[in-house]
Amino acid sequence: MFNSLSDRLTETFRNLKRKGALSETDVNKTVRDIRMALLDADVALPVVKQFTGQVRDRALGAEVSKALNPGQQVVKIVNEELVSILGGQTRRLNLAKNPPTVIMLAGLQGSGKTTLAGKLGFWLKEQGHTPLLVAADLQRPNAVTQLEVVGERAGVPVFAPERGNVFGHDAALESGEGTRSFGDPIDVAVDGVAHARDKNHDVVIIDTAGRLAVDVDLMRQAHDIRMETHADEVLFVIDAMIGQAAVDTAKAFADGVGITGTVLTKLDGDARGGAALSVATVTGEPILFASTGEGVKDFEIFHPDRMAGRILDMGDVLTLIEQAEKAFDQAQQREMARKFMAEEDFTFVDFLEQMQAIKKMGSLKQMLGMMPGMQQMRAQLDSLDDKEFDRVEAMVRSMTPFERMHPKQINGSRRARIAKGSGVSPSEVNQLLERFGQAQKMMRQMRKGGGMPGMPGMPGMGGGAAKGKAKGPQSKKGKSGNPAKRAEQERLAAQKAEESRGNAMGSAFGLPGGGEDAAEQDLSSLKLPAGFDKFLKDQ
């Protein structure tokens, strides 16, 4: 969504960072470049003026002139101001003290309200709530049926006493001569809240009707539904791809209905994205959620600081970590750690489990795009084929259980059978087995405490000593001829190897390197810099 804006800003800051000092001319040129980048991204003109004015005032102030690196300080200012126009702080849903919490979705037709209702219901269900979807859009053809399909896909029940418009033409809001009535959406919404209270649903999501443009009837109906249901949240659903039209639409709904927050849809599109940077400032209400795809899981909380980081190519590592925590099973991690300590080889069974967890996190391109600096590698990201995961999975699933556990036993005839069964060439199977063998070698190297292959040993992981150089008093001694001393040497060697494996496991799996007693380790033998001990007095 923000690729063009991100490229323009990145190039502006690249030129800025090369300067050791900034003059007023440099600041004015930078602000001008930022203004043009925002306008080109279709950001509303009042928002652009407010943003660039704040950046210019701060960039000409003392915080930049006295900074050690003025260019970096300007980037920091832009980031902070970008967070500000995106809403400042992350805002969560306001849940009612006495359930059910009533959430009303409002917006234009085609903004994605019905699909979003299912996504929001699925997300709330994962949070431990019991949501109910209410089909109050009786005007759009087959809107009720669509909500039922979306609800079934999300695993959330739908309250739909009226079938609405199933005839494929526009419905009239009022019944009368020459018109057709499809039920009263206000009555449906009120009855839906009562039904949720009777069935112990703690959240009600009301899908309301939209229009192709803002009109009086739409506003009156949405306002009446809000008042009659005493909605706790009125979320304005807006298509992030509609550009400047988002500003007028947002103002109309804020004034006519009274919204409490905004949800951005279609953030995975390739439009310029000015709506996302304008709507929070224009309405004065925060952005709560963002929809990033077609699946029910393509839905996330909107964090202004993280979105600003994505736009400025600083990455979004926190969201990446949160997705990984959801995808990777803790029991599987503990089992991998156990196998690591027991010196059991990494098998294709383990590989398949890890690959399934990565696929749960979503698109590989999106995950890599959250890493800092990846905007500069967009060409490589665009050429990345997500289907490579499917091809690798097909090859692994074409193996027998014995072959997955014993990859070294896969000979030429087995490789040909695997290639035929997965629809790939034998050379691709050979490449997979070769890469897998390298992964096994890396795991063995880490288990021995030697660090990553081809890299110097890290502290606490052993290795790193240069070949052919004397190790001084740490050099390996021969075994003693005294049985008692030899037994003691073997005991110490085994203890050292166990500690080395523990440290390596900590690096590989994020577990405490010293095992369960890591918090009680004796640190007295550490060689600290002179005077450093004063920082440990309170510990």
pLDDT at 485 over 50: yes
279, two tokens: 């709507």
Q: C-alpha distances in angstroms, 270 versus 18, 41, 241, 243, 382? A: 31, 11, 8, 12, 13
**Of 85, 111, 143, the domain-final residue:** 85
Q: Is residue 515 part of a domain?
A: no
> Residue 446 — pLDDT band, cuts 50, 70, 90?
low
Q: Is residue 134 part of a domain?
A: yes
Q: Is residue 525 part of a domain?
A: no
Dmax (CA) of the chain: 111
pLDDT at 402 over 70: yes
CATH number at residue 19: 1.20.120.140
Asked whether residue 135 falls in the same domain as residue 258, the answer is yes
Asked whether residue 123 falls in the same domain as residue 243, the answer is yes
> Residue 156 — pLDDT band, cuts 50, 70, 90?
very high
pLDDT of residue 509: 42
CATH number at residue 345: 1.10.260.30
Asked whether residue 301 falls in the same domain as residue 362, the answer is no
**Of 447, 465, 484, the domain-final residue:** 447
Average pLDDT over residues 361-369: 64
Type of residue numbered 392: V
Helix axes 426-447, 412-422, angle to 10 degrees: 110
Asked whether residue 297 falls in the same domain as residue 332, the answer is no
pLDDT at 271 over 60: no
pLDDT of residue 158: 94
pLDDT of residue 199: 92
Asked whether residue 277 falls in the same domain as residue 230, the answer is yes
**Of 447, 475, 508, the domain-final residue:** 447
pLDDT of residue 367: 65
Average pLDDT over residues 300-319: 73
3-state DSSP call for residue 105?
Answer: strand
pLDDT of residue 459: 38
CATH number at residue 267: 3.40.50.300
The H-or-E segment that residue 445 falls in is helix 426-447
What percent of the chain has pLDDT above 90?
Answer: 16
CB 408 within 8 A of CB 433: no
pLDDT of residue 341: 64
pLDDT digits (tens, 9 = 90+) for 12-38: 777 776 676 778 888 888 888 888 888
Chain-wide mean pLDDT for the chain? 75
Give the highest mean pLDDT range of 30-34, 270-274, 327-331: 30-34
Select the more confidently predicted residue: 400 or 85.
400
* Domain around 358: 322-447
> Residue 266 — pLDDT band, cuts 50, 70, 90?
confident
Q: C-alpha distances in angstroms, 113 versus 58, 86, 201, 215, 407? A: 40, 21, 21, 18, 49
Q: Is residue 172 part of a domain?
A: yes
Asked whether residue 401 falls in the same domain as residue 363, the answer is yes
Q: Is residue 394 part of a domain?
A: yes
pLDDT at 335 over 80: no
Asked whether residue 208 falls in the same domain as residue 244, the answer is yes
Asked whether residue 410 falls in the same domain as residue 368, the answer is yes
Q: Is residue 518 part of a domain?
A: no
Could you list the residues known to form a binding site, using ranges.
107-114, 207-211, 265-268
pLDDT at 4 over 80: no
pLDDT of residue 175: 41
> Residue 313 — pLDDT band, cuts 50, 70, 90?
low
> How many distinct structural domains can be found in the chain?
3
Select the more confidently predicted residue: 261 or 477.
261
pLDDT of residue 369: 61
Average pLDDT over residues 81-100: 86
Select the more confidently predicted residue: 15 or 299.
299
> Residue 380 — pLDDT band, cuts 50, 70, 90?
low
Q: Is residue 500 part of a domain?
A: no
pTM above 0.85, yes or no: no
pLDDT of residue 526: 46
Select the more confidently predicted residue: 172 or 287.
287
Asked whether residue 307 falls in the same domain as residue 416, the answer is no
Asked whether residue 336 falls in the same domain as residue 299, the answer is no
Asked whether residue 225 falls in the same domain as residue 122, the answer is yes
> Residue 155 — pLDDT band, cuts 50, 70, 90?
very high
Q: Is residue 380 part of a domain?
A: yes
Sequence-ordered alpha helix ranges (H) in 284-329: 304-311, 317-327
Asked whether residue 403 falls in the same domain as residue 440, the answer is yes
Could you list the residues known to form a binding site for GTP, using ranges.
107-114, 207-211, 265-268
> Residue 532 — pLDDT band, cuts 50, 70, 90?
very low
Average pLDDT over residues 342-359: 73
